[in-house]
Structure 1
């Protein structure tokens, strides 16, 4: 029933299996890729015709993670997979970026690539497997795909490159790099690094390329068994039309690209292209479409020739010069940190907001729930390029650019122990003419330092471009938007003075060589150093004081066995602390307590409360407490958060007190000294030995015990009582003492003692029997143990 074709290889010490013919057989190409126990299905379908008037290549890539792949049920109300998560969006871009340039120019059939994670073992990451499966499915489908590509993730641990590391290995290492490549050249790079050198980064890219070739050979082996017949593509000779277009608009476009200012240049280009509409007004739609495409292609040829042959760029710079930079901090008075970063015609307003632990982002994915304390959001409104367009939720491009800036800044952030804040960086692009993501990196670094976030070092970023014609090439620094569109490479490098923190590369041609990458990395290093110098003119260090509007966070630790006491039953205690003091309190499972508020007094109040709960009272120490309950024999005082102690009525004053309410009232603040803590934890307190105004300890002036009746009568020695002899059997008759008291035998009925009235009830508080009656001797009012 099934015509199954399979290819297996050993890759990084594990078995990679590519299979087709079992599932999704109605798709143009479908591959089931397995690595370990991670399984990804990728299906490719392609439209057999082009829509009328379509002049672009409609490739759509969807990557989806099924919660069932990890044996989980989705959270939320609907309990099913919903819109794409950030990781799914970023992985879709990882697949799209290297395969898009490998379709021939003029191919406009719609193609749909859907990759779904069906099984996840928690060790082998599905994103790389999805890239491999997509490449294999496209290769089998018969569409004009100039692949295949391979993909690999590389880590760097203890000076060694590691192929397809686990998440734990990535966290322990210094690099997380993903590469996609054809057999001959690298197509895409995405990475985050901990200030690594250009040599180490280049070595990682080369290592990944070598490992990708192993996968490419496996895909070719599968294609030899199961690939469909390739599509026939129509060909046409447009040389005559191209010459006509060049004659009509060539001179005008050449002159337009000599204008430095973007708005003037765009207006001049539009004016130069105006003759096309008149010349082809009677032509069919297809011819008019071709004429427009040829005019756009002519733009690229003019710009590229000027750079390669003359070394002259659109705005008159040479290939290494960075546009003028102007940076300022504290741009927004109420933000915790802010910066305005302008480079040429690219500008970003970047702000930093500090929050508490409860502001962390909860992420629900295949690995379960996780929490992220560093957030970076990038917005690209249409006015930034002088256009009218959609304004609303971020698209894939905005998510991708924001993540690139996140990767650049993340390695230099302090640890949670060093800086226990949730950090959000918001970048709003207000002007754009080339590399707004790198403007976000520079502005983000300044805004973080302005907010008082102790970065290891400032980070700058630069975008590099490439013009490649045969063996001739030119690498250009700080590219403009037009140079990005008309060039062959978008190569972004971010890092500190010590090394690279992020590297991203997208290629629009069949790939670049090691030589080109070496030149690009070296030139980028010079550009980054220059930008860091310009940034330092605005702010060259982290501020030592947080903004007055930022919350303060103080961290303390409590014993794990005391966490329950701080939280209380159903969270009663911690809610009371928050409600009473006005400070936020967060407790981790390891006993770390974070107290936050913009008011230091509120933090101190909450801290003292918690200390009172977890600390043990010290005998002899004086505390301030509040009367919480009054009973007949004294008052209970809360003096250490959750600790109550008893002030007996005899310890309220040095003189006799008839009733506790004569001295204290509920809610009253009093100062007490700890007299004793018994083995059961009960605390005995005293007010009378503490000055209630100053809190100072007073001498014990309580009068001495009154002597018994008889005063100072000398009793003298009792003397020798001599031998008392044998007292005999004491069990006999001892006389009439109210009944027969013989100890052996029947004791007989007890003497009627009459009505003695109710027995005095023993009060709470152990052996305390309440205040002594007025007729009692004075010594009974003393609390001597």
Structure 2
């Protein structure tokens, strides 16, 4: 068995590639290691192309097994189930930069399967998955144009860092993933803290320098163990068919693609395509398949869209390259939601709804590092009616999860900290119409919805999708792209941010990289567009509402001594459950002693908070308390002055007369007013009585009773610990 290994240094850590030991029956298999994180990447291609296939069927799967981190999965079924959100996002990250680098017309099924074998908790495996996918294809016999490198970039103390650790990212102003070839950048995705366009450009340039090193080491591995590439038959459009189709439709294609309105344009194109199919079928009978005629038609349509943009500066809806579609905004349109907004840009419309919840509503996720929580969630939904289609709805797909996370990252930086706004925030974006840039519409609508809900965000955020058409030296950057421009163009470039800077960034290219000048032009054009959109948004609502909705829960928080958590919970949760039932509230307590009480009724919250203060309070010398007699004895009376806390009034302090027993003037259940006179070194509380004892009557005085003092060491409930869960909700 021959094992081949190569390595390079990225940042201050070794990046090691190895092949020949694992998964030898795959077309290509590589392990990639960074510190103690190891990912196995495999690539397999089918030997034949399925008949009628008119697209490239690439599938990328990425899985994280808890064994990689030395853990056993939680829950009843002790094995990994459906892909987590993190796994889906990493699969998308892996897919996007490699997909454009397969030959045109390569329609054979290809499956990339990446598995995390070891995870150190500091180095995210997602970068290794991206690099490993490329390396496995490079050394395989599957046709692949050129290697892809990937790197994460952070900015800590104004210094750019390659592949920052999880610890370093906590103080980083940017967190972006950049992928590309030696010739240029293919993909960028990530978030930032309102950084400038210049900083983003510098980060991308810094990343590309590291990418070149990663590409070089893959080429070195290919020389050591790469297989000869197979000769796969590539699909090409028959030139005679292309000419026949062009003769029928080309003269009318430009006018057709300029038809105003998405539905009308699609109808016109469908009618023109149907005409071409009918005429060619009638002329050539069965010589050409309908699918081939459609491919020829699509190429002519794409060429017409690109030609109009490059030569005439015209777009499908009549706009110029930098023009943004008409925008309308509306807030507060739903009466019982906590916040709502409707954002419409051209034929793209997003309905954003904000819901506020108590801290116990936060999302819990099991990841390689253990259980984590999330208190701000944005869920993006793309129903089929938004594009006039009928199809089954089976929960969120990869695209919906990816778009939702992009919008969530766009807004994450402006969300207030828990100590300033102790709510869990769920934002839903339902796309009601779509013709391009629905994820950025979710950002804009989400901002307005949050402000309508009274969430004190740092600043409004807007997003815009940019496009690119490039032929040789001719380059046109498009603002606010349509769906057809996304399909026919060379770039999908989304930028979101405040008036001060960028908060999230996503770029995907269909060509082999772009120059720094094009990147600068696109970013500057996006900045102008973003500011234009923000100006329109703030005319509708310029700042968060002063008060939250009447239907949102009121939340108050307080800090208690962590040693008092057991007192608040009580044995088996008895105390806290009674408070929840009596006051009609929800109560959350974390291990740091932070207590959150929530209810739609403000008075209920205040009553519950006061009760918790009493439960956790300690007696203070000189303070007067309303107490209840819990026991009497010959030597004195025991008075509860706080829930679960009692002190003693000595018999000599109960009357001017000499008493045989405290029972001469007090009975169990009597309400008295007492003052703390002393707390001794053993924590015992001595009380003075202020009022409440009845006058002494010698004729009724009896023998001294036996002490019925309550047990001062009663069971007050222990702290309950659920490993990995720092918050309890009741």
Same fold (TM over 0.5): yes
**Does residue 1:546 correspond to 2:545, yes or no?**
no
Are positions 1:672 and 2:669 aligned together? no
Partner of 2:273: 273
Equivalent of 2:707 in 763, 766, 769 = 763
Aligned 8 A contact 1:280 1:288 in 2: no
**Aligned residue in 1 for 2:39:** 40
CA-to-aligned-CA distance 1:534-560 (integer Å, 9 cap, x gap): 111111101121111111111211223
Q: 1:577, 1:661 → 2: CA distance?
A: 36
Q: Is the 8 A contact 2:149 2:180 kept in 1?
A: yes
Quick one: distance in 1 between partners of 2:624 and 2:634? 24
TM-fit CA distance, 1:519:
0.4
Shift of 1:233: 3.9
Listed as ranges, the matches of 1:101-112 within 5 Å are 101-112=100-111
> Does residue 211 of structure 2 align to residue 183 of structure 1?
no
1:245 to 2:245 alignment: yes
| Distance in structure 2 (CA, Å) of the matches to 1:654 and 1:452 | 62
Aligned counterpart, 1:780: none
User: Aligned pair 1:418/2:420, yes or no?
Assistant: yes
1:552-571 → structure 2 map (5 Å cutoff) = 552-571=554-573
Provide the C-alpha distance between the structure 1 equivalents of 2:546 and 2:644, rounded to a whole number of angstroms.
36
SS in 2 for 1:172: coil
1:255 corresponds to:
255
Between 127-136 and 2-11, report the one with greater CA deviation.
Answer: 2-11
Cα deviation for residue 623 of structure 1 reads 3.2
**For 1:382, which of 381, 384, 404 is the aligned residue?**
384
1:341 to 313, 333, 343: 343
How far, CA to CA, are the matches of 1:600 and 1:635 in structure 2? 38
* Equivalent pair of 1:349/1:429 in contact (CA under 8 Å): yes
Paired with 1:214 and 1:285, the residues of 2 have a C-alpha distance of: 50
Question: Contact between 2:191 and 2:410, CA under 8 Å: does it hold in 1?
Answer: yes
Tell me the secondary structure at the aligned position of residue 152 of structure 1. Answer: strand
**Structure-2 separation of matches of 1:664 and 1:177:** 72
8 Å contact kept, 2:627–2:674 = no
Task: Measure how far apart 1:240 and its partner are.
Answer: 2.0
CA distance in structure 2 between the aligned counterparts of 1:522 and 1:377, rounded to whole angstroms: 29
Q: Residue 369 of structure 1 aligns to a residue in which SS?
A: strand
2-side partners of 1:125 and 1:285: how far apart?
53
Contact 1:649 1:660 in 2 (8 A): no
Matched ranges for 1:534-613 at <5 A: 534-613=536-615
Aligned partners of 1:654 and 1:688 also within 8 Å: no
Equivalence for 1:470: 472
RMSD between superposed Cα atoms in Å: 2.7
Match of 2:372 in 1: 370
Distance 1:660 1:525 in 2: 82
Q: Counterparts of 1:418 and 1:594 in 2: how far apart (Å)?
A: 13
* Structure 2 match to 1:201: 200
TM-score w.r.t. structure 1 length?
A: 0.85
**Which is worse superposed, 350-359 or 251-260?**
251-260
Alpha-carbon separation, structure 2, partners of 1:206 and 1:658: 88
Q: Residue in 1 aligned with 2:519?
A: 517
Residue pairs, 1:34-73, within 5 angstroms: 34-73=33-72
Aligned residue-pair number? 701
TM-score (norm 2): 0.91
Instruction: Report deviation, 1:561.
Output: 3.0
| Alignment partner, residue 451 of structure 2 | 449
- Quote the Cα distance in structure 2 between the aligned partners of 1:440 and 1:638: 57
Residues 624 and 676 of structure 2 are in contact (CA less than 8 Å); yes or no, is this contact kept in structure 1? no
Q: How far has the Cα of 1:28 moved from its partner? A: 0.5
Contact 2:106 2:233 in 1 (8 A): no
2:442 paired residue among 440, 443, 459: 440
The Cα offsets for residues 611-632 of structure 1, whole Å up to 9 and x where unpaired, read as: 2122222344343455666889
CA–CA distance in structure 2, aligned partners of residues 375 and 230 of structure 1: 45
CA distance in structure 1 between the partners assigned to 2:494 and 2:641 by the alignment: 61
Tell me which moved more, 478-487 or 274-283: 274-283
Asked whether the 8 Å contact 2:585–2:604 carries over to 1, the reply is yes
Q: Which residue of 2 aligns with 1:93?
A: 92
Does the 8 Å CA contact 1:408/1:501 hold for their aligned counterparts? yes
Deviations 1:627-648 (A, max 9, x none): 6668899875544233234578
| Residues 8-27 of structure 1: per-residue CA shift (max 9 Å, x gap) | 22222222111111111111
Tell me what 1:722 maps to: none
Cα deviation for residue 686 of structure 1 reads 6.6
Alignment of structure 1 residues 581-730 onto 2, 5 Å = 581-625=583-627, 637-645=639-647, 666=669, 670=671, 672-679=673-680, 680-683=682-685, 689=691
Q: Deviations over 1:136-170 (max 9, x none)?
A: 00111121211210000000111110000011111
- Name the CA distance, whole Å, in 2 between partners of 1:616 and 1:586: 22
Q: Please list the CA deviations of residues 62-89 of structure 1 after superposition, one character each: whole Å capped at 9, or x if unmatched.
A: 0001111110001111111111000000
Query: Where does residue 508 of structure 2 map in the other structure?
Result: 506
How far did residue 576 of structure 1 move? 2.9
The Cα offsets for residues 671-730 of structure 1, whole Å up to 9 and x where unpaired, read as: 62325344244445577637xxxxxxxxx998999xxxxxxxxxxxxxxxxxxxxxxxxx
- For structure 1, the 5+ residue unaligned runs are 691-699, 706-758, 767-785
Give the 3-state SS of the residue equivalent to 1:412 in structure 2: coil
CA distance in 2 between counterparts of 1:595 and 1:208 reads: 46
Q: Is the deviation greater in 306-315 or in 223-232?
A: 223-232
Q: Tell me whether 398-407 or 446-455 shows the greater mean CA deviation.
A: 446-455
> Of the two structures, which has the highest relative contact order with CA contacts closer than 8 Å and spacing of 6 or more?
2
**Is the 2:139–2:225 Cα contact (8 Å) retained in structure 1?**
yes
Distance 2:606 2:472 in 1: 70
SS in structure 2 at match of 1:537: helix
Cα distance in 1 for partners of 2:209, 2:528 equals 29
Q: Paired residue for 2:290?
A: 288
Q: Any stretches of 5+ residues in structure 2 without a counterpart?
A: 711-730
When residues 671 and 310 of structure 1 are mapped into structure 2, their CA distance, relative to the original with a 3 A threshold, is: farther
| Residues 279-302 of structure 1 deviation map (CA, whole Å, 9 limit, x = unaligned) | 343654864322211111111111
Cα pair distance change 1:673/1:303, threshold 3 Å: same
Matched residue of 1:484: which SS?
A: helix
> Rg larger in 1 or in 2?
1
Contact 2:4 2:20 in 1 (8 A): yes
Matched, 1:314 2:316: yes
1 CA distance for matches of 2:654 and 2:584? 33
Structure-2 residue corresponding to 1:404: 406
- Post-superposition shift, 1:331? 1.7
Distance 1:661 1:551 in 2: 51
Partner of 1:79: 78
- SS of the residue corresponding to residue 170 of structure 2 reads helix
2:634–2:705 contact (8 Å) kept in structure 1: no
Query: Could you say what secondary structure the match of 1:610 adopts?
Result: helix
Cα distance, 1:762 vs. partner?
A: 4.1
Q: Distance in 1 between matches of 2:237 and 2:489?
A: 25
Quote the Cα distance in structure 1 between the aligned partners of 2:628 and 2:261: 73
SS for the counterpart of 1:423 is: strand
Aligned 8 A contact 1:653 1:687 in 2: no
Q: Is the 8 A contact 1:63 1:114 kept in 2?
A: yes
| Counterpart contact for 2:634–2:704, Cα < 8 Å | no
Cα distance change on mapping 1:44 and 1:286 into 2, 3 Å: farther
Change (3 A) 1:68 1:173: same
Aligned counterparts of 2:5 and 2:92: Cα–Cα separation in 1? 27
Q: Does 1:6 align with 2:21?
A: no
The 8 Å contact of residues 237 and 296 in structure 2, kept in 1 or not, is answered as no
Matched, 1:485 2:487: yes
Q: In 1, Cα distance between the equivalents of 2:268 and 2:639?
A: 84
Structure 2 CA distance for aligned equivalents of residues 437 and 139 of structure 1: 33
Distance 1:71 1:360 in 2: 26
- Structure 1 pair 641–476 and aligned structure 2 pair: CA distance change class (3 A): same
Matched-pair contact (CA < 8 Å) for 2:244–2:280: no
Tell me the SS of whatever aligns to 2:278: helix
Cα distance in 1 for partners of 2:672, 2:299 equals 87
Alpha-carbon deviations, 1:33-91, whole Å to 9, x = none? 11111111111110111111111110000000111111000111111111100000000
